[in-house]
């Protein structure tokens, strides 16, 4: 085969010649395919651009409507579709900030600045976030960069001054803490945290200052945000758990130490504290469950076990004694209840429930003046508590009644005596004071009076309805309290007299 070149005809191998001829025939088709591919690529790019614009528009609308999570999804798609668009990163950062996720916003702002170094809005926004984080060094760089291109920029100048002010106050606060001027440190840190609310170091220092002055609640308030301001802040979770534990808030203590273990289940310090809190919480929760079931003896055992589990923190001992006092009062063990309630009251004198339970124990023990005193003290501490109001009224009625006729005292039984104990006491006294046992007329009259009281007491205290009135501070045999109707007529107290016209010659049944 021959081919023509500028020098003339040149011989070439047959295979090569055929390939050249084939390529010549394919060339028009290749050109055609390239045109088609170019057109298709242009179409894809146009579709992609339209999709990105659609995501940006939807993100804008959702952001304006406050649907932040949905807006963020569209901005994610826009960034994936065009990773070189600085505005897309900036807009996504705005959504993160609206959601309070300032740490997520920072990388997007940095990427926007990387793509467009002279992007003024992004520089200011990043500088403001860094300043709120307490990162004054990097914040100053952003504000200074703005001032280099825009001298006299008002916001950048103002924020640069704040950065300098923040550094000065933080240094003074650290020096105050070191010289043990904790009150001074707290005052300075208040201003620091106003300028840098997302600075974990400032909050941790103020938390320590509050601990030094004994204000555990405020120490917790400052320490809690640091669990989100620092990543993997197990130390803060553990410290929070211990602080709540010291305050007697065992449930919240358990919640905080669990957060620590979520970050690292093998953290030895957190796991050790978790076992202690878990054991105590289980005992206290079980005790409360027993109280709801009115299993008071079981509840008492659980509270005693809880005190053994945590004997060093007084608040748990006081809490246990308060609830043991309640259980003893409910189970009618008045003398034990008074002793335990008094001990609990010494450690927690403003606890109205301790006063309430001791008052009920005093009522059981027929020390009505003391019961009224405890209910009055509880009422002064909480004037809106309906249970305390009702208890005070009942104690006052019982005290007033005791000055007239006390059916429990007449029979010599306790207020929690059962029906069998009441009948037994009645029979003994009825045999003792039956008028037939006496000879003189005066003795018979005195015995008759006593016998009537004894019989009346028995009838009242063995009748559930009448006994309930007595326990509420009423005298059902007092004519002033008779309302008519019901199971007893208003003349019932007078019909009750087992004797008629002073005639004592009859057989009386001691039933």
Summarize pLDDT for 128-140 with one digit per residue, the tens: 999 999 999 999 9
How much of the chain, in percent, has pLDDT values that exceed 90? 63
DSSP codes, 185-228: HHHHHHHHHHH-TT-HHHHHHHHHHHHHTT-HHHHHHHHTTHHH
Rounded Cα distance between 444 and 442, Å, is 5
Crossing angle of helices 120-132 and 154-178, in 10° steps, is 20
Q: Of 137, 141, 131, 142, nearest to 195 (Cα)? A: 131
Contact (Cβ atoms closer than 8 angstroms) between residue 173 and residue 188: yes
Strand partners, 9: 4
- Structure tokens belonging to residue 12: 């070439």
In sequence order, which residues have a C-beta less than 8 Å from that of residue 357 and are 6 or more positions away? Answer: 322, 325, 326, 328, 329, 337, 341
Contact (Cβ atoms closer than 8 angstroms) between residue 371 and residue 363: yes
What's the mean pLDDT in 417-440?
A: 89
pLDDT score, position 443 = 84
Q: Tens digits of per-residue pLDDT, 236-248?
A: 999 999 999 999 9
Residue with the larger pLDDT of the pair 422 and 12: 422
Residue 500 has pLDDT above 60, yes or no: no
Q: What is the mean pLDDT of the chain?
A: 86
Q: Which domains does the chain have, with CATH numbers?
A: 32-117 (1.25.40.10), 229-402 (1.25.40.10), 410-495 (1.10.287.110)
Residue reference for tokens 């504000």: 143
Rounded Cα distance between 141 and 160, Å, is 9
Q: Tens digits of per-residue pLDDT, 451-468?
A: 888 998 899 999 999 998
Burial (CB count <10 Å: 0-12, 13-18, 19+), residue 243: buried
Q: Residue 408 in 3-state DSSP?
A: helix
Of the given ranges (162-171, 270-279, 474-483), which has the lowest mean pLDDT?
A: 474-483
Q: Residue 310 in 3-state DSSP?
A: coil
pLDDT score, position 503 = 40
- Structure tokens belonging to residue 235: 């130390």
Contact (Cβ atoms closer than 8 angstroms) between residue 56 and residue 88: yes
Q: Tens digits of per-residue pLDDT, 339-360?
A: 999 999 999 999 999 999 999 9
Q: Tens digits of per-residue pLDDT, 379-399?
A: 999 999 999 999 999 999 888
Residue 376 has pLDDT above 70, yes or no: yes
Q: Residue 8 in 3-state DSSP?
A: strand
Q: Determine how many CB atoms are found less than 10 A away from the CB of residue 468.
A: 11
Contact (Cβ atoms closer than 8 angstroms) between residue 244 and residue 279: no
What's the mean pLDDT in 112-140?
A: 95
Q: Determine how many CB atoms are found less than 10 A away from the CB of residue 11.
A: 8
Of the given ranges (221-225, 400-404, 418-422, 428-432), which has the lowest mean pLDDT?
A: 400-404
Assign residue 235 a region (left: φ > 0; alpha: ψ between -120 and 50; beta: otherwise). Answer: alpha
Contact (Cβ atoms closer than 8 angstroms) between residue 289 and residue 313: no
* H-run or E-run covering 2: strand 2-5
Residue with the larger pLDDT of the pair 501 and 200: 200
Q: Tens digits of per-residue pLDDT, 82-100?
A: 899 999 999 999 999 999 8
CA diameter of the chain: 173
Residue with the larger pLDDT of the pair 15 and 125: 125
Contact (Cβ atoms closer than 8 angstroms) between residue 264 and residue 280: no
Residue reference for tokens 């065992």: 250
pLDDT score, position 410 = 87
What's the mean pLDDT in 98-114?
A: 93
pLDDT score, position 450 = 85
Residue 43 has pLDDT above 70, yes or no: no
């Amino acid at each position: 085969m021959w081919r023509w070149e500028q020098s003339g005809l040149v011989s070439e191998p047959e295979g090569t010649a055929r390939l050249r001829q084939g390529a010549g025939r394919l060339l028009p088709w290749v050109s055609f395919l390239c045109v088609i591919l170019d057109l298709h690529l242009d179409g894809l790019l146009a579709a992609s651009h339209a999709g990105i614009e659609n995501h940006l528009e939807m993100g804008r609308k959702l952001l304006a409507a406050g649907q932040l999570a949905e807006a963020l999804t569209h901005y994610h798609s826009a960034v994936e579709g065009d990773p070189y668009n600085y505005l897309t990163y900036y807009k996504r950062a705005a959504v993160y900030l609206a959601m309070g996720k300032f740490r997520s916003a920072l990388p997007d702002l940095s990427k926007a600045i990387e793509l467009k170094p002279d992007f003024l809005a992004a520089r200011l926004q990043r500088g403001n976030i860094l300043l709120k984080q307490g990162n004054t060094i990097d914040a100053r760089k952003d504000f200074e960069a703005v001032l280099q291109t825009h001298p006299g920029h008002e916001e950048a100048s103002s924020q640069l001054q704040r950065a300098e002010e923040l550094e000065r106050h933080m240094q003074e606060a650290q020096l105050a803490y070191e010289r043990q001027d904790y009150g001074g440190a707290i005052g300075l840190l208040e201003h620091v945290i106003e300028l840098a609310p997302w600075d974990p170091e400032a909050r941790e220092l103020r938390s320590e200052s509050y601990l030094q002055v004994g204000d555990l609640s405020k120490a917790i308030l400052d320490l809690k945000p640091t669990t989100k301001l620092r990543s993997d802040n197990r130390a803060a979770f553990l410290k929070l758990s211990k602080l709540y534990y010291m305050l007697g808030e065992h449930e919240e203590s358990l919640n905080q130490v669990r957060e620590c273990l979520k970050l690292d289940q093998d953290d030895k310090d957190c796991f050790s504290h978790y076992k202690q809190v878990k054991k105590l919480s289980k005992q206290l929760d079980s005790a409360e469950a027993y109280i709801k079931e009115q299993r008071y003896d079981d509840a008492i055992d659980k509270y005693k076990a809880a005190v053994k589990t945590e004997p060093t923190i007084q608040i748990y001992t006081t809490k246990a004694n308060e609830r043991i006092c309640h259980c003893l009062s409910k189970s009618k063990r008045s003398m034990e209840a008074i002793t335990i309630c008094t001990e609990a009251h010494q450690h927690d004198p403003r606890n109205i429930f301790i006063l309430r339970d001791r008052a009920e124990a005093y009522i059981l023990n027929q020390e009505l003046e003391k019961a009224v005193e405890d209910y009055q003290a509880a009422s002064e501490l909480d004037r809106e508590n309906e249970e305390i109001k009702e208890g005070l009224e009942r104690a006052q009625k019982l005290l007033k009644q005791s000055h007239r006729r006390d059916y429990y005292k007449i029979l010599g039984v306790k207020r929690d005596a059962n029906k069998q104990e009441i009948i037994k006491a009645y029979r003994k006294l009825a045999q003792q004071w039956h008028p037939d046992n006496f000879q003189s007329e005066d003795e018979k009259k005195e015995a008759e009076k006593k016998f009537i009281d004894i019989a009346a007491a028995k009838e009242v205290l063995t009748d559930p309805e009448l006994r309930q009135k007595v326990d509420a501070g009423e005298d059902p045999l007092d004519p002033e309290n008779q309302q008519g109707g019901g199971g007893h007529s208003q003349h019932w107290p007078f019909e009750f007299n087992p004797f008629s016209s002073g005639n004592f010659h009859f057989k009386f049944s001691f039933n």
